Amino acid sequence: MKKKIAIIIERANIILGGAERSIFELTTALSSLDFKVDILAAKGQTDAKNIHILCQNTSGKRTCHNAFGKALKNHLAENHYDIVHSVLPFDFVDIYQPRGGSYAESIVQNAASYQNNFKAAYKRVTAFTNFRRTTLLQAERKLCKNPHGPTIAALSNYVADQFKKHYNTDEKRIVVIHNGVKTNRRIYQAEADKLRAQILAQFALKEADNPVFFLFVANNFRLKGLESLIKAMSAIRSKNRQHEYLLVAGHGKPHKYRHLAKKLKVHKKILFLGTIRHIQNALSITDVAVLPTFYDPSSRFILEALAAEKPVITTEFNGATDLFTNDRHGKVIDTAENITALSNALSHYTDINNIRQTSQAIIEDNLKEKVSISRVAKELESLYKSIIEKRRQ
């Protein structure tokens, strides 16, 4: 008989972001391993039989954590599941897998991303005026202090360290199951070629100019380090480089960053693409993925770039660094604020030979399998079985 798994997520809507997309990809991968997977969500719009919307009649776009908890307990009392796996901090589940890392660390690093000591201190203090965030932080802290609480499945070593640092969580309760992505996404070649042609036209370039395109993808431009990246592009320009260009994708607000680029005289080297529907199309026609983030438990964008055999540049504050080797598959810099290190990393990949060597190393080391959601599902299968076995004993 198939084992029944319940995965708890706040909103069942794939267009909301990476966390939601990851859960739907994971559900498919687990189903292929012969699990019966139900998604339990507070809100969402779906006709799928395996998705249960438990708080649809409550007002507002989001649901109070405590109200969702009560609805979940009622559902679980009436429906049997072998494993209850949640991305939200509920202490009555079997596995807690926070897609955004710990709430404590996210508060600290979000404040740091303002790159201003006074503003950072202000943001740390005022973070606790956000009732919802405070409720989730308190729930997470309670979950961690409970010696009989759920297993914590961390997306990366960085996330595992957060729970030890902020909550003094017993190491025995933490299992690292590195993040993964769907690696067989279709490339829509006609769309990709059209995008490439539009980019070349915007920069007044020809293919014969041999441009190097760096791709940055994020929705929170500040947190993901776009300001630092623009400064690093300026530093490259001062070294008389001529053929490197930055493409910025995502629905962040570009005005501030356009102004900075113009001030630093690199506005002709940067193109804001807006939201891109198929990220694999953009990766297929660009050269290097770059994300100098202040905080990322494990970036899907970086993993998708590795799956596309592209060199990557990111920071130590990105858990995705667990899955590739610095100086072989890409570059890892210490912080987003280290403009010199970031500009040096960009400069390294203005050499097409360095890009080719790195891409070849990614292929040789089979990183596509290492970053796959199928690998994640197999590791979770092992964890599920161990929890079920312990329960029997």
Give the mean pLDDT of 98-110. Answer: 95
With 90 as the cut, is the pLDDT of residue 126 above it?
Answer: no
More confident residue, 131 or 366: 366
Cα separation of 387 and 84, whole Å?
11
Range in 44-58, 320-334, 369-383 the model is least confident about: 44-58
At 232-263, the pLDDT tens digits run 999 986 565 568 999 999 988 999 999 999 99
Confidence at residue 236, expressed as pLDDT on a 0 to 100 scale:
87
**Whether 9 contacts 23, CB under 8 Å:** yes
Structural domains in the chain, sorted by start? 4-180+372-392 (3.40.50.2000), 189-370 (3.40.50.2000)
Residue 135's pLDDT band (cuts 50, 70, 90):
very high
- Residue 16 has a pLDDT of 52
Please say if the pLDDT value at position 129 is more than 80: no
Would you say residue 159 has pLDDT above 70?
yes
- The reported pTM is 0.94
Half-sphere exposure of 265 (CA within 13 A, CB side): 4
Instruction: Report the pLDDT value the prediction gives residue 59, as an integer from 0 to 100.
Output: 74
- Answer yes or no: is pLDDT of 346 > 90: yes
SS3 string, 16-63, reads HCHHHHHHHHHHHHHHCCCCEEEEEEEEECCCCCCEEECCCCCCCCCC
CB atoms within 10 A of CB 239: 11
What is the token pair recorded at 175? 């299992």
Report which residue type is found at 366: N
- The one-letter amino acid at 153: A
> Is 204 a residue whose pLDDT tops 90?
yes
Q: Give pLDDT tens digits for 291-309.
A: 999 999 999 999 999 999 9
DSSP string, 115-153: --HHHHHHHHHHGGG-HHHHHHHHHHHHHHH-TTS-EEE
Stronger pLDDT, 370 or 48, i.e. the higher one: 370
What are the tokens at 168? 């003094």
Predicted local confidence at residue 142, as pLDDT: 95
Q: How far apart are CA 187 and CA 284, in angstroms?
A: 8
Question: Which range has highest mean pLDDT (45-54, 115-124, 138-147)?
Answer: 138-147
Q: What is the mean pLDDT of residues 55-59?
A: 81
- Tell me the average pLDDT of the chain: 93
Span of 16-25, 61-70, 136-145, 211-220 with lowest mean pLDDT: 16-25
Residue 25's nearest CA partner among 296, 373, 310, 269 is 373
DSSP 372: B
Question: Can you give the pLDDT at residue 58?
Answer: 78
Q: Which helix (H) or strand (E) holds 283?
A: helix 279-284
Per-residue pLDDT for 349 more than 60? yes
Q: What is the pLDDT of residue 239?
A: 60
pLDDT of residue 252: 87
Specify the pLDDT at position 298.
97
pLDDT tier at 1, thresholds 50, 70, 90: confident
Q: Is the pLDDT of residue 387 over 90?
A: yes
pLDDT for position 241: 57
pLDDT grade, residue 15 (50/70/90)? low
CA distance 196 to 210: 13
In sequence order, the β-bridge partners of residue 244 are 212
CA distance readout (Å), 36 to 3, 27, 50, 178: 6, 9, 9, 22
How high is the pLDDT of residue 18?
64
Residue 128 has pLDDT above 80, yes or no: no
Tokens of 87: 């991305």
Whether the CB-CB separation of 138 and 166 falls below 8 Å is answered with: no
Of residues 127 and 133, more confidence is placed in 133
User: Are the beta carbons of 21 and 14 closer than 8 angstroms?
Assistant: yes
pLDDT confidence of 74, banded at 50, 70, 90? very high
Q: What is the pLDDT of residue 238?
A: 57
11 vs 286, residue with greater confidence: 286
- Tell me, what's the pLDDT at 14? 59
Q: CA 18 to CA 382: how far, in whole Å?
A: 24
- The answer, yes or no, to whether residue 366 has pLDDT greater than 90, is yes
270-274 and 151-154 beta bridge pairing: unpaired
